[in-house]
Protein backbone atom coordinates (compact mmCIF):
# COMPACT_ATOMS: atom_id res chain seq x y z
CA UNK A 1 0.00 0.00 0.00
CA UNK A 2 1.45 3.42 -0.97
CA UNK A 3 1.80 6.35 1.40
CA UNK A 4 -0.94 8.11 -0.57
CA UNK A 5 -3.30 5.16 -0.13
CA UNK A 6 -2.54 5.11 3.60
CA UNK A 7 -3.25 8.85 3.84
CA UNK A 8 -6.60 8.26 2.15
CA UNK A 9 -7.52 5.93 5.02
CA UNK A 10 -7.17 8.84 7.47
CA UNK A 11 -10.29 10.97 7.81
CA UNK A 12 -9.84 14.75 7.94
CA UNK A 13 -12.39 16.34 10.26
CA UNK A 14 -12.50 20.11 9.81
CA UNK A 15 -13.03 22.46 12.76
CA UNK A 16 -12.58 19.73 15.42
CA UNK A 17 -12.05 20.14 18.35
CA UNK A 18 -12.28 23.84 17.56
CA UNK A 19 -12.60 26.15 14.54
CA UNK A 20 -9.55 26.21 12.26
CA UNK A 21 -8.15 22.80 13.29
CA UNK A 22 -8.12 19.90 10.82
CA UNK A 23 -8.30 16.81 13.01
CA UNK A 24 -6.55 13.75 11.53
CA UNK A 25 -8.87 10.93 12.55
CA UNK A 26 -7.05 7.59 12.53
CA UNK A 27 -10.15 5.51 13.49
CA UNK A 28 -10.89 5.05 9.78
CA UNK A 29 -7.36 3.64 9.27
CA UNK A 30 -7.61 1.39 12.34
CA UNK A 31 -10.78 -0.38 11.19
CA UNK A 32 -9.09 -1.30 7.90
CA UNK A 33 -6.99 -4.36 8.80
CA UNK A 34 -4.71 -3.96 5.76
CA UNK A 35 -3.95 -0.30 6.48
CA UNK A 36 -3.47 -0.88 10.22
CA UNK A 37 -1.15 -3.81 9.45
CA UNK A 38 0.80 -1.75 6.91
CA UNK A 39 1.42 1.09 9.37
CA UNK A 40 2.60 -1.41 11.97
CA UNK A 41 4.82 -3.18 9.42
CA UNK A 42 6.55 0.13 8.60
CA UNK A 43 7.16 0.77 12.31
CA UNK A 44 8.33 -2.84 12.89
CA UNK A 45 10.71 -2.51 9.96
CA UNK A 46 12.12 0.72 11.42
CA UNK A 47 12.64 -0.58 14.96
CA UNK A 48 13.20 -4.33 14.58
CA UNK A 49 16.41 -5.70 16.17
CA UNK A 50 17.20 -2.36 17.78
CA UNK A 51 18.22 -2.24 21.46
CA UNK A 52 14.80 -1.20 22.80
CA UNK A 53 13.72 -2.34 26.28
CA UNK A 54 10.31 -0.69 26.47
CA UNK A 55 7.76 1.17 24.39
CA UNK A 56 6.00 4.05 26.13
CA UNK A 57 2.68 4.97 24.50
CA UNK A 58 0.88 8.28 25.02
CA UNK A 59 -2.81 8.23 26.01
CA UNK A 60 -4.97 7.46 24.16
CA UNK A 61 -4.15 6.77 20.52
CA UNK A 62 -0.50 6.08 21.34
CA UNK A 63 -1.73 3.05 23.30
CA UNK A 64 -3.19 1.51 20.14
CA UNK A 65 -0.06 1.75 17.99
CA UNK A 66 2.41 1.48 20.88
CA UNK A 67 0.71 -1.60 22.36
CA UNK A 68 0.54 -3.40 19.03
CA UNK A 69 4.15 -2.49 18.21
CA UNK A 70 5.37 -3.64 21.65
CA UNK A 71 3.74 -7.01 20.97
CA UNK A 72 5.28 -7.21 17.48
CA UNK A 73 8.75 -6.25 18.76
CA UNK A 74 8.40 -8.47 21.84
CA UNK A 75 9.17 -5.67 24.31
CA UNK A 76 7.26 -4.35 27.34
CA UNK A 77 4.78 -1.48 27.27
CA UNK A 78 4.48 1.57 29.55
CA UNK A 79 1.41 3.84 29.54
CA UNK A 80 1.86 7.60 29.78
CA UNK A 81 -1.46 9.05 30.94
CA UNK A 82 -3.46 12.17 31.63
CA UNK A 83 -3.37 13.21 35.31
CA UNK A 84 -5.23 11.09 37.86
CA UNK A 85 -5.56 7.95 35.75
CA UNK A 86 -2.60 5.86 36.96
CA UNK A 87 -3.24 4.06 40.29
CA UNK A 88 0.27 3.81 41.84
CA UNK A 89 2.73 6.65 42.64
CA UNK A 90 3.46 8.79 39.58
CA UNK A 91 5.82 11.46 38.28
CA UNK A 92 4.41 14.40 36.31
CA UNK A 93 5.55 16.73 33.53
CA UNK A 94 3.75 19.91 32.51
CA UNK A 95 3.77 21.28 28.98
CA UNK A 96 2.41 24.39 27.30
CA UNK A 97 -0.64 24.34 25.04
CA UNK A 98 -1.76 27.14 22.76
CA UNK A 99 -3.87 28.38 25.67
CA UNK A 100 -2.86 27.15 29.12
CA UNK A 101 -1.02 23.96 29.95
CA UNK A 102 -1.45 20.22 30.20
CA UNK A 103 0.14 17.45 32.23
CA UNK A 104 1.26 13.90 31.57
CA UNK A 105 2.09 11.21 34.13
CA UNK A 106 4.01 7.94 34.34
CA UNK A 107 4.35 5.46 37.21
CA UNK A 108 7.59 6.15 39.13
CA UNK A 109 8.63 2.48 38.74
CA UNK A 110 7.67 2.16 35.06
CA UNK A 111 11.18 2.71 33.67
CA UNK A 112 14.33 1.43 35.40
CA UNK A 113 17.59 3.43 35.20
CA UNK A 114 19.40 2.74 31.93
CA UNK A 115 16.43 1.19 30.12
CA UNK A 116 16.06 2.27 26.50
CA UNK A 117 12.58 3.54 25.76
CA UNK A 118 10.90 4.12 22.41
CA UNK A 119 8.13 6.73 22.64
CA UNK A 120 5.09 6.20 20.42
CA UNK A 121 2.12 8.45 19.71
CA UNK A 122 -0.30 8.72 16.82
CA UNK A 123 0.62 12.27 15.80
CA UNK A 124 3.24 14.98 16.28
CA UNK A 125 1.82 18.50 16.05
CA UNK A 126 3.90 21.02 18.05
CA UNK A 127 5.88 18.20 19.69
CA UNK A 128 5.03 19.43 23.19
CA UNK A 129 3.40 16.19 24.34
CA UNK A 130 6.26 13.95 23.22
CA UNK A 131 8.87 16.37 24.61
CA UNK A 132 7.15 16.12 28.02
CA UNK A 133 7.03 12.32 27.69
CA UNK A 134 10.77 12.29 26.94
CA UNK A 135 11.41 14.35 30.09
CA UNK A 136 9.49 11.74 32.13
CA UNK A 137 11.71 8.94 30.79
CA UNK A 138 14.81 10.97 31.64
CA UNK A 139 13.47 11.85 35.09
CA UNK A 140 13.35 8.09 35.72
CA UNK A 141 16.97 7.92 34.44
CA UNK A 142 15.89 5.95 31.40
CA UNK A 143 17.23 6.66 27.93
CA UNK A 144 15.01 7.87 25.08
CA UNK A 145 15.90 5.53 22.22
CA UNK A 146 13.73 7.44 19.79
CA UNK A 147 10.31 8.83 18.99
CA UNK A 148 7.95 7.22 16.51
CA UNK A 149 4.56 8.34 15.27
CA UNK A 150 2.12 7.63 12.49
CA UNK A 151 1.48 11.24 11.41
CA UNK A 152 3.79 14.26 11.51
CA UNK A 153 2.34 17.73 10.87
CA UNK A 154 5.69 18.97 9.57
CA UNK A 155 4.55 22.59 9.13
CA UNK A 156 4.26 22.91 12.93
CA UNK A 157 7.99 22.13 13.36
CA UNK A 158 7.56 19.59 16.15
CA UNK A 159 10.89 18.07 15.16
CA UNK A 160 12.65 21.26 16.34
CA UNK A 161 11.19 20.87 19.82
CA UNK A 162 12.20 17.20 19.84
CA UNK A 163 15.88 17.74 19.10
CA UNK A 164 18.20 15.88 19.57
CA UNK A 165 15.98 12.80 19.62
CA UNK A 166 15.67 10.52 16.62
CA UNK A 167 12.17 11.17 15.24
CA UNK A 168 10.46 8.84 12.75
CA UNK A 169 7.02 9.31 11.21
CA UNK A 170 5.16 7.00 8.84
CA UNK A 171 3.22 9.80 7.11
CA UNK A 172 4.16 13.47 6.79
CA UNK A 173 1.81 16.37 6.05
CA UNK A 174 3.43 19.55 4.75
CA UNK A 175 0.31 21.69 5.09
CA UNK A 176 -3.15 21.59 6.73
P1 LIG B 1 1.48 18.22 20.22
O2 LIG B 1 1.81 18.10 21.67
O3 LIG B 1 1.16 19.63 19.80
O4 LIG B 1 2.54 17.58 19.34
O5 LIG B 1 0.12 17.45 19.99
C6 LIG B 1 0.12 16.06 19.86
C7 LIG B 1 -1.07 15.41 20.53
O8 LIG B 1 -2.29 16.09 20.24
C9 LIG B 1 -1.20 14.00 20.03
O10 LIG B 1 -1.47 13.13 21.12
C11 LIG B 1 -2.34 14.05 19.03
O12 LIG B 1 -3.15 12.92 19.16
C13 LIG B 1 -3.11 15.34 19.33
N14 LIG B 1 -3.31 16.21 18.14
C15 LIG B 1 -2.80 17.46 17.94
N16 LIG B 1 -3.17 17.98 16.77
C17 LIG B 1 -3.94 17.04 16.17
C18 LIG B 1 -4.62 16.97 14.89
N19 LIG B 1 -4.59 17.96 14.00
N20 LIG B 1 -5.31 15.83 14.61
C21 LIG B 1 -5.34 14.80 15.49
N22 LIG B 1 -4.73 14.81 16.70
C23 LIG B 1 -4.04 15.91 17.04
Spatial separation of the C-alpha atoms in residues 130 and 102, rounded to whole Å:
12
Spatial separation of the C-alpha atoms in residues 173 and 176, rounded to whole Å:
7
Spatial separation of the C-alpha atoms in residues 106 and 139, rounded to whole Å:
10
Report pLDDT digits (tens) over 149-162: 999 999 999 999 99
Contacts of 95 (CB under 8 A, 6+ apart): 101, 102, 103, 104, 128, 129, 131, 132
Catalytic residue among 46, 48, 50, 61: 61
Spatial separation of the C-alpha atoms in residues 73 and 143, rounded to whole Å:
18
- The best mutation among 11, 22, 24, 129 to test binding of ligand 1, ranked by most ligand atoms within 8 Å of the C-beta, falls on 129
Report pLDDT digits (tens) over 63-86: 999 999 999 999 999 999 999 999
pLDDT at residue 98 tops 90: no
* Cα 152 to middle of ligand 1, angstroms: 9
Q: What is the bridge-based pairing of β-strands 11-14 and 22-25?
A: antiparallel
Spatial separation of the C-alpha atoms in residues 47 and 84, rounded to whole Å:
31
Class of domain 3-173: alpha beta
Q: Check whether the bond before 17 is cis (ω within 30° of 0).
A: yes
Q: What percentage of the chain has pLDDT greater than the value 90? A: 97
Domain boundaries defined on the chain: 3-173
Task: Please give, one letter per residue, the 3-state secondary structure of 153-169.
Answer: EHHHCHHHHCCCCCEEE
DSSP 33: H
Amino acid sequence: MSFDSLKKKIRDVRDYPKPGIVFRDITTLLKDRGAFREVLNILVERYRDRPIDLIAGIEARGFIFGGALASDLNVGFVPMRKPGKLPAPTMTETYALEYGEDKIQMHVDAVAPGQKVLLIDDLIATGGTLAAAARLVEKAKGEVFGIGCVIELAFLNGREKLKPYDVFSVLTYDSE
